[in-house]
Amino acid sequence: MELSGSTVVTVNNDYVYCKVEDEMVLLGMEDGIYYGLNPVGAFIWEQIKEPKTIDQIRDAILDEYNVEKDECERDLLELLKELTENGMVEVKKSD
């Protein structure tokens, strides 16, 4: 699925997670593999505990961090693509 600003993403409930200092550790219940997210990735994970559009996530990052909008969008889409490919987030087109 092509990701765009109106794409809605949320965490996959097959992953358990906990915050360790300012990072996030995730465990896949099906594959038993641990994953780690850096502080920005952890912030994004916190944002998508409830379904949000990619534009909403981007805006939250821009409010929280000093980053250029283009760079933010590029990095966010890259991370979400990787999380989607690994089955860690669920994606759906908004209505």
Domain presence at residue 18:
no
Domain presence at residue 61:
yes
Number of helices (H), then strands (E), in the chain: 3, 6
Query: Residue 27, Cβ neighbours under 10 Å: how many?
Result: 14
Q: Per residue in 78-87, pLDDT tens?
A: 999 999 988 8
How many domains are contained in the chain? 1
Residue 43: pLDDT band with limits 50, 70, 90? very high
Structural domain harbouring 81: 7-12+38-93
Domain presence at residue 84:
yes
Whole-model pTM: value is 0.88
